[in-house]
Structures are given as C-alpha cells and as structure tokens.
Amino acid sequence: MNKLSVFFVLLLCITIIGCNRTSIEPQKKISKEISSEKIEDLLQQMTLKEKLTLIHASSSFTSGGIPRLNIPEISMSDGPHGVRYEHGRAWSRLENADDKATYLPTGITLASTWNKSLGLQYGRVLGSEAKERNKNIILGPGINIIRSPLNGRNFEYLSEDPYLTAQMAIGYVNGVQENGVAACAKHFVANNQETNRSNVDALVSKRALHEIYLPAFKTVVQDANVWSIMGSYNKVNGQFATHHEYLVNSILKNDWGFDGVLISDWASVKDTKEALLYGTDIEMGTELVKSFNNPDYDGFYLADPAEKMIESGEVPESVVDDKVRRILKLMMRSTVLTDYGKGERNTEEHQKTALQVAQEGIILLKNEQILPIKSAEKKTIAVIGHNAIRKFASRGGSSQVNALYEVSALEGIQKIAGDKYEIVFSEGYEPYFDENNFRKDNVQTAAQTKVNDVKVAASKKSNQKLVKDAVAIAKKADYVIFVGGWIHGFEGYPWGEGTFDSEARDKVNLKLTFGQEELIQELTKVNKNVISVLYGGSQVEMNNWLPKVKAYIHAWYPGMEGGTALAQILFGEVNPSGKLPVTFANSHNDYPSHKIGEFPGNASVDYKEDIFVGYRYFATENINVPFSFGFGLSYTNFTFSNLKTSKDKTDIIVTCDITNSGKMAGYEVLQLYINQKNPSVKRPKIELKDFEKTWLEPNQTKTISFTLKEDAFKLFNEDLNKWTLENDDYTILIGNSSTFTPLKTTIKL
C-alpha cells in the first residue's frame, strides 16, 4: 500500500473512531465501579443482531464482539488447575501451539490443604497464566459438592462440605480476578455425576439445595464477587440448570444480586425461549448444526432463532438488553477492556506455589512408626507401581494441562534419596482393558478403548510377569514404597478419558484396578515395611490391604511438583498437614447417596439422602469409617485446651489454645463444628462452621480465635422457605477431625 493510501486509511480510521459517541478505549487504570451510562450509551448504539452476537459463541472458546463499536470478543479457557492446551478457534487442540503451562495440584488437593491463603495464591497463579495466554475468563473453580466417591470429576472439585468448599473458593476467585481475568465458578448447580450428565434430572429438596448445593456459589458471588458462573448440563427438579427460572432468575440474580454473566456449559443450552427468559447470558458450545469443521454459529439457540423470537414480539428485546449489560460490565471490569498489565507463565514462583499446595495437600492417613524414612546406613528402597512413573496432567477431560514438566513419584524419590539410599524400581502392574471397569452405558466406549489403545492391550497375563519381578526386588529391600491408585484414563482417548477420574465418565466402584490389590498382598508377604502411596480423585476399597501395610499416603493428583512434595514428606523434609475434605468409607455402597439416595439414577436421580451428605450422614448415624472427614496425620502431636466463649452483640467469639507437644514443627488445622440440641427438623449431628490452619514450633502454644455469626447456627426451614435461627442449646466442638473434637462447650441462643 503506498504512502497516500496509508494516509487515507489512517484518516478513515480516525474518522470512524471520532464519529462514535463512545468508542471503547482500554481503560488504563483499574476502575472498580463500572460507569453505567457508558454501558447504556453503547447499548443504544447496537442493532438487535449486534446484541445477539454478544450472547453466543463466535468460536470454540470465544463469544462475539462488535468491531463497529470497538467491542472485542471475550476469550475463554479451561481449566480449574491450569490453563488448558490452546484450541484457537477450532474444536480440537491446536497442534504445536505455545501452550506449556503450570500444572497445579487439582481442586481436591487444594481443598485438602485447608489453607485459605493457599487458595488465593493458587488463584493468582492461574489468573496470571490465563492473562499471559490472552484469556479473559478461566473456566474454574469447580465447586460442585462431592456427593458420591464415584463421580468422575471429583478430582476437579473441592469437598463434600459446602463450608470448606466455599472458603477455599473465595481465595481462588480473588486470586484469579486480581489479574483482571474473570473466574467462572462451575457447574451451577447439582452437577454431581457424569453419567447421563446432559439430560439427567437431579431431584433435590429445597433444604438440600440451600444447605448443601448452593452455599459455595452464594459465597463466591457475595464474598468474592465472582464475575461469571457456568450453568450446568443437568436439570434440577425438571428444568435445565443453565436456564432455570428459580435457580438463575430468583436465587442467583435476584436474591443474591449476582451482576455477572451466566455462561452455559458447552452445549448445555437446550431451548431458545428458556435461555432468553431464564437467565442464560452467553451460549457456548452448542452442538453445531452443521459440523465441527464448518461451524454455524448463527444456528445457535441464542442466534437466529432468538432473533426471530424477538422480532415476532414473543420475547421482549429488553431480555437481551439485560444480558448485554452484564456482558459489557464483565468486559469493562476485566482485561477485555481494562489494562491490567502483562501476565506471567511457567515462572519459578508459580512452580513454588504448585509445590506448596502439594506439600500441604498430600495426606498421611496411616503411619505405624515407619515414616519419615530416616536411617544412618545406606538402605535399599524398592519403589513399585505403575503410578510411580505415570504422568497425569494431560488427561481427565477439559481440565487437562500441557504441563511444562511433571515430577513423578519415582523422580522425586530418586532426587531426594541421592546416594543416601539405594533406589530400585519395578512397574509391578500396568493398566489393561477390563470390561468390569466400564459402566454399561460405556460399553461402546469400552470397545472403542480396545481398538484405540494398543497400550491397553496388555492383559492380566502380562501383569503376572510384572508382579513376579516386583516381588523379587521387594524381597531384597529394606523398605517398599508401593505407588498405585487411579489413573485418569487410557491412552488413545481425545482427553485420555476412561471410566476412572475423568470427565463424562463415573467410576463403577472403588475396587483397585489392574490387579493392584493382589500385588500389594504379594509385597506384604515378602516385606514387612510396605508404605502405600495412592494417587487419584477418590480412595479405593482398602479393607483387604490396609491392615497389612505400615503406612498409607493419599496423594490425589498433586500437580507438576507432586513427586517432589511426596518425597519431601516420605523423608521428613516436610511435615504432612493435609486433612481429608471428604469421608473415606470403604465402599461406595456405604455412602448415603447410594444407600438412601440414587447414584447415578436413570432419567432422573433422586437425592433422597437430602442434607445428609458425607460426614453429615456418618456422624449422625454413628457409622465408623476407615478415615473420617477432616482427618490427617502429622509427624508431631498437638493438644487442645482452654476453650472459652463470649458474646459480642449477636456474634459468638470462641477461643482455645493449641500446643505442639511433639519434636517437629508443623501445621495443624483446627476445625470448629456445631450441634443443635433439639432442632425442629432433623439436623446433622455436627456441621463444620469454621477452621484455621496454624504453624507451631515444638512446645509452642497459640491461642486461636473464631467469630461465629448468627447465620452459622441457622437451618433452612422448608415450610417457611427461609433460613431460621431456633432458640435452643448449641454445642461448639473443636478438634482436628470430624471424629476428634476434644474441646466442647454449650451455649444458649
């Protein structure tokens, strides 16, 4: 283009910009309050068609913009524990993209730290890396309640308890949004299984919704001002959650005052009129009416079909205006239209956060004086198990991450052992295809696995040789560290899904797969010092092997520095402080969602256990479990004393002392539960209402203080359809697990 024409083009650009009453300039400073007149002004300038481009996808992970008004697209990316592979505008991964990222420990590992400040650090890493990748929304945190241990996505979520989920999510959301990137709390609501997720109708009582399934969303809206929320695939009590008159319009937007954007899950919008009237603000991922390679975004429910409905007068345009206002507000408060500076990716600081979350989230559940491993002379340690060498980051579904690196358990152990110990390794078992691991509705998938995945072709037979080799080295070793548990899924899958810890799949049961149980039995026959380390988003059935091992560590999916943290705990460089965010019962059949409620149901799934989820059930029914909610061991001991309460207007102030009575410094998590003496309706025996993680040197004592608001004692009364405080005696219990609360006192309200 010659100089003259450049001049005219420039002149034309200046003219275009000049003639708009308001053209969006990226605001230099971070403006908290959003000028509503600017929003109104823009709205007035838009045609209906332009408004509709904003409320549905313009590519796989962007929603529409309006170039004429300098309004850019919004770009989004998974996932909850790391910025996902680059998709570009396509519906599959962009090959050879620059998308290496920090692979943080997954959600349930973060929750196991019970450390609110780590939630903030975690969110900061995620927000900064999303910004560096030019993403305006990160599609996390996943805050669905863990109702059954079989749900394939538990590894992405936080807890069975709404309060712990909420408290860990506040920091996460603040950390992400400090970077100017919108967090997107998901999946709203009662998406507690993967089986038939696109159509299943979750039948949930109002009380269970308000006491169990909604609180974490309410907290991130009201206490963390989350800028977006993702509607879920499933129905709730007969209506699709993504466009739900009661849940979205009445509760989320009216009662809670949510002023952000409700984004659908990918293809969770099922009806134009409902999406217009019942709260969907942006429709993403609808099954494209033509094909993935030739997307037809005009075919989306909130595109041409919506235009016809508005133009016919069936639905007023004001309905679309509300969506557009929310979208413009998100744009103005975020990096879409405000300059928050540059993000960072793959920095040492980010990797340090990944390490710290793993150090505090890995849980020591059993230790018969064998850990930490310390010995003067050179001992031989046999590391046995496929999971000792497996890498996990790239699988599990949409939460997959292209980790810059991932330290395996074996690498971590080898590194820390150096020449102080002789480390020998044997795989012991390898994943193979087993029909019993697939739900009947996944049989087609199972067959597909057989075809797709040559590595899975290894059968039980090949494992017999692996077992023999493993037993041979175990016989000669001083210690055996067995590393097993779950995997996300098999090679050959688009996401490496399978029927284990994976999106779109639920587990069939908690039985150890691939012959691991038999292997552990064989190892304990030839070596009395077996330490078991399990990876995975849930426990496994443990009654047959747990009594025979000297120690058990649950490592979840501990991220890119998981192997480093695990080794530091095994050898005593780090004192473990993780606590269970879920109950570990032995079998899925022990859980109320299976014993009383339905899982996974059929066309509908009835949450008949109501509010008695997790420890709320086991404690109330006095049922012993192998490891209870809130439990986790340390290498030192703590004692609790001096419980006192006082009133400050309507607040109850609770203080107590905690002492480190052991020889090693470390963290402890004080947990505060309440019990109501004579509730008007059945109420759980205990409910978690506060917690505090604190560091103590040996012989150090600290006084910890808790402030309980009135709300902490309320229950949701279905008849009155509101939260109520009942005059009654309430017991306050403090300890370091739901089944160890030595400090108790009763107050009258």
Q: How far is the CB of 445 from ligand GLC (least distance, A)?
A: 16
Tokens for 569, please give them: 């705990």
Q: How far is the CB of 186 from ligand GLC (least distance, A)?
A: 6
Task: Yes or no: say if 423 and 417 are a contact pair by the CB < 8 Å rule.
Answer: yes
**Residue 255 annotated as catalytic:** no
What is the length of the chain? 749
* Strand 743-748 to 228-231 pairing: unpaired
The residues of the shown chain that bind ligand GLC, judged by CB under 6 A, are 78, 139, 186, 265-266, 398
Residue closer to ligand GLC, measured from CB, 265 or 406: 265
Residue closer to ligand GLC, measured from CB, 499 or 634: 499
Q: How far is the CB of 314 from ligand GLC (least distance, A)?
A: 30
Query: How big, in percent rounded to 5, are the helix, strand and coil portions of the chain?
Result: 35, 20, 45
Q: In what order do the strands lie in the sheet with 666-676?
A: 687-696, 666-676, 729-735, 743-748
Identify any residues that bridge with 746 across adjacent strands, giving them in sequence order: 731
C-alpha span between 606 and 147 (Å, rounded): 12
Q: How far is the CB of 410 from ligand GLC (least distance, A)?
A: 31
With both helix axes pointing from N to C terminus, report the angle between 162-178 and 215-222 in degrees, rounded to the nearest 10. Answer: 30
Q: How far is the CB of 398 from ligand GLC (least distance, A)?
A: 4
Q: How far is the CB of 473 from ligand GLC (least distance, A)?
A: 42
C-alpha span between 234 and 193 (Å, rounded): 9
Residue that is written with structure tokens 């016809």 in the block:
308
Q: How far is the CB of 139 from ligand GLC (least distance, A)?
A: 4
Residue closer to ligand GLC, measured from CB, 186 or 235: 186
Identify any residues that bridge with 292 across adjacent strands, giving them in sequence order: none
Task: Yes or no: say if 174 and 123 are a contact pair by the CB < 8 Å rule.
Answer: yes
Is the omega angle on the peptide bond into residue 171 within 30 degrees of 0, that is, cis?
A: no
CB contact set of 329 (below 8 Å; sequence gap of 6+): 34, 39, 259, 260
C-alpha span between 514 and 540 (Å, rounded): 13
* Strand 421-426 to 479-485 pairing: unpaired
Residue closer to ligand GLC, measured from CB, 179 or 398: 398
Sign, CA dihedral 609-196-198-503, equals positive
Residue closer to ligand GLC, measured from CB, 265 or 506: 265
Please give the single-letter amino acid code of residue 712.
Answer: A
Q: How far is the CB of 268 from ligand GLC (least distance, A)?
A: 8
Q: How far is the CB of 727 from ligand GLC (least distance, A)?
A: 43
Q: How far is the CB of 311 from ligand GLC (least distance, A)?
A: 31
Residue closer to ligand GLC, measured from CB, 286 or 335: 286
Residue 436's Cβ-count burial label (10 Å; 0-12, 13-18, 19+) is exposed
Residue closer to ligand GLC, measured from CB, 67 or 494: 494
Beta-strand ranges (E) seen in 189-320 are 201-203, 228-231, 235-236, 239-240, 261-264
Tokens for 432, please give them: 């193979």
Among 161, 201, 265, 501, the one annotated catalytic: 265
C-alpha span between 482 and 512 (Å, rounded): 13
Helical ranges in 406-442 per DSSP H: 409-417
Residue closer to ligand GLC, measured from CB, 142 or 171: 142
Residue closer to ligand GLC, measured from CB, 146 or 362: 146
Tokens for 125, please give them: 């890493």
Question: Which H helix or E strand runs over 669?
Answer: strand 666-676
Task: Yes or no: say if 615 and 573 are a contact pair by the CB < 8 Å rule.
Answer: no
Tokens for 179, please give them: 């970077």
Tokens for 296, please give them: 């037809």
Residue closer to ligand GLC, measured from CB, 190 or 696: 190
Residues labelled as active-site residues: 265
